[in-house]
Amino acid sequence: MAFNSIEFLIFLPTVYLLYRLLNLRMQNMMLLAASYLFYGWWDERFLFLIVLSTAIDFSSGIMIDEGKLTRLDRAKASAWTLLSAIAFLGINWQAPDWASKFQNFVGWQYCGYVLLLVIAGNALYPLLSKLPEHRRRGVFLFISMAANLGLLGFFKYCNFFIDSAESVITSMGMHATDFRLDIVLPVGISFYTFQTMSYTIDIYRGHLKPTHRFLDFALFVSFFPQLVAGPIERATHLLPSILHERRIDWEQSSRGCFLILMGLFKKIGVADSVAIAVNSVYLTQGDVTQLDIIVATVLFAIQIYCDFSGYSDIARGCSKIMGIELMTNFKLPYVSRTPSEFWTRWHISLSSWLRDYLYIPLGGNRGNKFMVYRNLSLTMLLGGLWHGAAWNFVLWGAYQGAILCIYRLLGIGVRRAGQEEIGITIKQRILGMLNMIFFFGVTCYGWLLFRAVSFEQIVGFTGQLLTDFGASSMHLTMRKPTLAGMLGVLVLIVYELTEYNLKDTCFYKRFPVPIRAGLYALMIFIIFMGTSNAPVQFIYFQF
Amino acid sequence: MPPSNSSTSNSNLTPKAPEVSPVEAAKGGVKASKSAPIRAAWLMLWVLIWLLVMDIGINVLFPYPKAPDAKPSRLQQYFEYGRSTEGKIRYMVGDTNANTASVSLAGWMDDGKTRPTTAANPDGTLIAVYGQSFTQHACNTWSKQNDSLTMRMILGPGAPLNHSYAMYLEDRDKHDAKVCVLGILASSLPYLDTIAGMTWSFERPYTFMFPRYSVVDGKLNVIDPTIHSMQQFRDTLNDPAKWEKLISHVSEHDAFFDPTTFNACITDQSAIGRMLRRAWGQRHMQAMQAKYHTVDGFNPQTGIIDTARYLVVDWAKKVREDGRLPIVYVINDRGFADHLYQELGDTLKQNNIPFVSTHEYAPTADLANFQSDGHFVHAVDEITAQKFEAIFKASLAQE
């Protein structure tokens, strides 16, 4: 189910009404059921993967910290795994009648494998629980990592590596057998596997105590607002909100509703409205001019920001009206002046995840310059690969790593989101703005790598940008964004510049009611205008 | 990636405080005020007032010109697309052909056009053409390449095969064409399940109507549209009882009919209402198209493939009975790969019906073959015309 669908328009108010009627325990159970329904709307089979990941991390977390699972804990994890295998793999919900729903031979075969897995897990438990503490902790951390990365690797990267190996073999003049597997990528797998991995790592590091409440933990893994496209929450942040009584007040509800409105405005009013123009350049096989490439890439920068931050806003808004705070994922990224600042403003939940669980363990800023550059490059390369199993994402990651290293090498100052600019001169302010514009250009080239549909397109477009300066290059042949898109971009720029200058995310609350209502009405009007665009799936669903 | 080694993790298991505006913080943080529900209601009222102002403002600033063939500005058009089909038809169709929009006349036999019944050149050949603009462009190019040809065109905008077939039946005795061209457009194939252009051309509706055919037990079943000319349509539109009866007939027999987009109502007067109806209309069309066609091809379960095969074979048989050469133009337009050829190619070959299929020389994957409005570029029409000419020459040689 997508946030911009009619189904969600019915789903969210229903969930919210039920939520307000129930007590904490029932609220959590209802939210878990709603989250599974939300995810299963795409493909119920993949719910099994979520439950499997939940069961493994629930057990691993307790084993790492406490060294033993109670019978009840083991029974809970085993029963949920088996029941989910029967419900989501054994029964074919797409079949037309009840008899054929159960005639699913392949599905029942998988259920058999799951049964064997559960039996093996329970049989090995006495052995593993007797291991010395340091070994036991390492073994269960390994099990959690292997399971999550294994799922991610198989479903997301298997065909990518097979294809790449085939290309290498073919380029060496040898014959490669077509070995491609028919694998469907489960929506949001990169998000929830990273989230659950952080849970076990934090327990291993002693930053967190494991929970014995299986259903609450399952809700942490599958909480529907952020399940398929983040923010990637940490257990230290989200789990307490799930375990404890939540308080909802008017201010929170009003901010939540505003975030939902802002998210829909960004997605429907802006992102989907400029997508038509971007696609007319990136998906054409005909000729495009240099100006087409520049305009389409700038528009893509706006599209991907509005698409992804719009999703995060809606996720935060839905969560907030239920009294659960999700982390801020975007903080005006395009005002950044350096790459390190950019990564404190863009997809913050991923960049902080990579920092805490990859960059710092690799050595972080410690060691000599070469080691720091290596750590930065490697982290960004893997960050690029996280986005998708394609070489352009790897290239985009490498590019991000390279610009981080270059800026660091040149000693260009590090500024972070929220850093105050007090007492600066007009000259410094102008220089800062020029830096901002220059770095926006640098960022946009990264988006060209990200959006390109082939390596040939990257080479072709880059060549045109660098060499094509004839009079004809300045003609615009691409499709124009819709009226909603142009109006939406204008409103968004004014809104974000005001937020930046006032340094207040809730600045609109300072306005008198009629002005504030005017802003809301304008956003609603642009959403209505945008609804006539063909709905585009959220870009980050594919990751 | 921040250049810091600090970790954000902590073991504090109490929920985080919600974000607070600095202004609110200065006032003492977030507190549920007793007047909050009243303030929210006040705010909602203001939002509604603003939306009303915007709605009225759009209607005042961008009124749609009521003259049938007026050229509205882009903004006027933008805010008008979502008017109901009936609402649009009522100001597009005037009392006479002269004050009726040309697009509303298209597709009817009594569209006011004079069509040749014999070749202009005594040694020339009359070609009768049935189809839509794609076929028109190709045949116009053909007549430029071979000036001995005269074209008699009975066309409809995006006309589906059932319209073209019915037009031939109505037109077959009215000319002495030696060659007949039937253009079948891939994107119009689903409209075989319709009886009116009004139901599938929401943003700029076509008024023309045609029979709906289906094959039942190997025989052709026909649903008559009940209206056969522009004049009949005009009379029906101006008579509420007849109009209601027609709509009832269309809703019963046209698979694409959707009352939300079709029926005029109060929302026609609201700019927001029109925008929302436009969104609804687009989703309705997407859903209907998805029922008939997917990335893998046409859905055979809908029955349109069987009907199309039957109609094309029967058309060619009738054309041959009339002593003419049939040529079928298989138009695989953008978004349809070679799916139409996949469905009709074997039938055409088995029945020895001469045909030209665009997938051979203008693959849809290559966008360079298309203009921005979706039609083929002239170079493609040139090739099509050459292929028509080759079939025509081969036929002459056989004679």
The rounded distance, in Å, linking the Cα atoms of A520 and A32 is 32
Question: Looking at the predicted complex, does its ipTM rise above 0.85?
Answer: no
**pLDDT score for B352:** 94
Question: What are the distances in angstroms from CA A305 to CA A191, A383, A507, B301?
Answer: 18, 17, 21, 42
Angle between helices A272-282 and A290-320 (to 10 degrees): 150
Residue A98 shares a structural domain with residue A81: yes
B144, B183 Cβ separation under 8 angstroms: no
The rounded distance, in Å, linking the Cα atoms of B298 and B193 is 13
Residue A393 in any domain: the answer is no
**Which among A531, A33, A534 has a CA at the least distance from the CA of A264?**
A531
Residue A147 shares a structural domain with residue A76: yes
Residue A34 shares a structural domain with residue A107: yes
The CA-to-CA distance between both ends of chain A, in Å, stands at: 16
Q: How far is B367 from chain A (nearest CA, A)?
A: 6
Asked whether residue B31 carries a pLDDT value surpassing 60, the answer given is no
Chain A CB within 8 Å of residue B46 CB: yes
The rounded distance, in Å, linking the Cα atoms of A214 and B289 is 45
Residue B248 in any domain: the answer is no
Which of B21, B43, B278 minimises the CB distance to A517? B43
Residue A297 shares a structural domain with residue A434: yes
With CB atoms and an 8 Å threshold, state whether B9 touches A534.
no
Q: Find where tokens 């056989």 sit.
A: B398
**pLDDT score for B76:** 85
CATH of the domain at B163: 3.40.50.1110
Residue A532 in any domain: the answer is yes
Confidence of residue A54 (pLDDT cuts 50, 70, 90): very high
Q: How far is A535 from chain B (nearest CA, A)?
A: 9
**Which among A211, A196, A215 has a CA at the least distance from the CA of A27?**
A215
Residue A219 shares a structural domain with residue A300: no
B107, B206 Cβ separation under 8 angstroms: yes
Q: How far is A528 from chain B (nearest CA, A)?
A: 6
Residue A230 shares a structural domain with residue A299: no
Cα dihedral sign for B344, B349, B351, B357? positive
Average confidence (pLDDT) over B194-210: 92
A224, A34 Cβ separation under 8 angstroms: yes
Residue A194 shares a structural domain with residue A279: no
Asked whether residue A164 carries a pLDDT value surpassing 70, the answer given is yes
Residue B348 in any domain: the answer is yes
Residue A172 in any domain: the answer is yes
The rounded distance, in Å, linking the Cα atoms of B212 and B254 is 8
**pLDDT score for A165:** 75
Angle between helices A272-282 and A513-530 (to 10 degrees): 40
Residue A489 in any domain: the answer is yes
With CB atoms and an 8 Å threshold, state whether A525 touches B286.
no
With CB atoms and an 8 Å threshold, state whether B22 touches A504.
yes
The rounded distance, in Å, linking the Cα atoms of B125 and A513 is 75
**pLDDT score for A482:** 85
Nearest-5° Cα angle at B350, B345 to B354: 65
Residue A313 in any domain: the answer is yes
**pLDDT score for A540:** 63
- Which of A378-392, B89-103, B118-132 shows the highest mean pLDDT? B118-132
Q: Work out how many CB contacts closer than 8 A connect A with B.
A: 171
Asked whether residue A411 carries a pLDDT value surpassing 90, the answer given is no
Chain A CB within 8 Å of residue B35 CB: no
Residue A107 shares a structural domain with residue A182: yes
B51, A270 Cβ separation under 8 angstroms: no
Counted domains in chain A: 2
Confidence of residue A321 (pLDDT cuts 50, 70, 90): very high
With CB atoms and an 8 Å threshold, state whether B2 touches A504.
no
**pLDDT score for B262:** 93
B258, B284 Cβ separation under 8 angstroms: yes
Chain A CB within 8 Å of residue B2 CB: yes
Residue A210 shares a structural domain with residue A302: no
The token pair at B66 is: 């009521």
The rounded distance, in Å, linking the Cα atoms of B393 and A233 is 72
Which B positions 205-224 lie with beta carbon below 8 A of chain A? none
Chain A CB within 8 Å of residue B56 CB: no
Counted domains in chain B: 1
Alpha helices in A363-512 (DSSP H): 369-387, 391-409, 426-451, 455-467, 483-502
Last residue of one domain, picked from the residues A219, A243, A267:
A243
**Which among A341, A221, A320 has a CA at the least distance from the CA of A263?**
A320
Residue B333 in any domain: the answer is yes
Give percent of chain A above pLDDT 70.
94
With CB atoms and an 8 Å threshold, state whether A356 touches B8.
yes
Q: Please tell me the total number of residues recorded for chain A in this structure.
A: 543
Whether A207 is catalytic is no
Residue A462 in any domain: the answer is yes
Average confidence (pLDDT) over A244-254: 86
With CB atoms and an 8 Å threshold, state whether B275 touches A513.
no
Last residue of one domain, picked from the residues A202, A221, A243:
A243
Q: How far is B34 from chain A (nearest CA, A)?
A: 10
Residue A4 in any domain: the answer is no
Give percent of chain A above pLDDT 90.
45
Which B positions 271-300 lie with beta carbon below 8 A of chain A? 272, 275-276, 278-279, 282-283, 286
A339 contact residues in B (CB cutoff 8 A): 1
- Closest residue in chain A to residue B367, using alpha carbons only: A285
**pLDDT score for B329:** 97
Which of B11, B81, B276 minimises the CB distance to A208? B11
Residue A76 in any domain: the answer is yes
**Domain region containing A236:** 22-243
Which tens digit of pLDDT belongs to each residue from B11-29?
444 444 555 444 444 444 4
Average confidence (pLDDT) over A466-486: 81
With CB atoms and an 8 Å threshold, state whether A355 touches B2.
yes
A11, A1 Cβ separation under 8 angstroms: yes
Which tens digit of pLDDT belongs to each residue from B339-360?
999 999 999 999 999 999 999 9
With CB atoms and an 8 Å threshold, state whether B18 touches A255.
yes
**Which among B248, B229, B394, B259 has a CA at the least distance from the CA of B327?**
B394
Residue A256 shares a structural domain with residue A226: no
**pLDDT score for B9:** 37
Confidence of residue A289 (pLDDT cuts 50, 70, 90): confident
**pLDDT score for B4:** 44
Average confidence (pLDDT) over A316-342: 92
**pLDDT score for B388:** 95
A27 contact residues in B (CB cutoff 8 A): none
With CB atoms and an 8 Å threshold, state whether A208 touches B9.
yes
Residue A62 shares a structural domain with residue A162: yes
Chain A CB within 8 Å of residue B352 CB: no
Q: Per mean pLDDT, which range of A91-105, A308-322, B209-223 is the poorest? A: A91-105
Residue A175 shares a structural domain with residue A208: yes
Which of A237, A285, A522 minimises the CB distance to B16? A237
The rounded distance, in Å, linking the Cα atoms of A50 and A56 is 10
Angle between helices A513-530 and A250-264 (to 10 degrees): 40
B51 contact residues in A (CB cutoff 8 A): 521, 524-525
The answer to whether the peptide bond before residue A96 is cis (omega within 30 degrees of 0) is no
- Closest residue in chain A to residue B280, using alpha carbons only: A532
Which tens digit of pLDDT belongs to each residue from B264-310?
888 899 999 999 999 899 889 989 999 999 888 999 888 899 999 99
A379 contact residues in B (CB cutoff 8 A): 1
**pLDDT score for A25:** 87
**pLDDT score for B23:** 46
Which of A202, A255, A479 minimises the CB distance to B9? A202
* CB burial of residue B303 (10 Å; 0-12, 13-18, 19+): middle
**Domain region containing B157:** 113-229+294-398
Asked whether residue A538 carries a pLDDT value surpassing 80, the answer given is no
Which residue among the candidates A207, A237, A387, A475 is catalytic per the annotation?
Answer: A387
The rounded distance, in Å, linking the Cα atoms of B228 and B242 is 14
3-state SS string over chain B?
Answer: CCCCCCCCCCCCCCCCCCCCCHHHHHCCCCCCCCCHHHHHHHHHHHHHHHHHHHHHHHHHHCCCCCCCCCCCCHHHHHCCCCCCHHHHHHHHCCCCCCCCCHHHHCCCCCCCCCCCCCCCCCCCEEEEEEECHHHHHHHHHHHHHCCCEEEEEEECCCCCHHHHHHHHHHHCCCCCCCEEEEEEEHHHHHHHHCCEHHHCCCCCCCCCECCEEEEECCEEEEECCCCCCHHHHHHHHCCHHHHHHHHHHHHHHCCCCCHHHHCCCHHHHCHHHHHHHHHHHHHHHHHHHHHHEECCEECHHHCHHHHHHHHHHHHHHHHHHCCCEEEEEEECCCCCCCHHHHHHHHHHHHCCCCEEEHHHCCCCCCHHHECCCCCECHHHHHHHHHHHHHHHHHHHHHC
B14 contact residues in A (CB cutoff 8 A): 240, 244
Asked whether residue A298 carries a pLDDT value surpassing 90, the answer given is yes
Last residue of one domain, picked from the residues A243, A275, A294:
A243
- Closest residue in chain B to residue A284, using alpha carbons only: B367
**Which among A532, A6, A267, A529 has a CA at the least distance from the CA of B282?**
A532
B207, B197 Cβ separation under 8 angstroms: yes
**How many angstroms from the chain centroid is the CA of residue B302?**
19
Q: How far is A206 from chain B (nearest CA, A)?
A: 8
With CB atoms and an 8 Å threshold, state whether B1 touches A366.
no
Q: Per mean pLDDT, which range of A69-78, A299-308, A531-540, B271-280 is the poorest? A: A531-540
Q: Best of A27, A251, A359, A380 to disrupt the B interface by mutation (most B CBs within 10 Å)?
A: A251
The token pair at B172 is: 């077959």
Q: Widest CA span of chain A, in angstroms?
A: 77
The token pair at A241 is: 């909100």
- Closest residue in chain A to residue B23, using alpha carbons only: A510
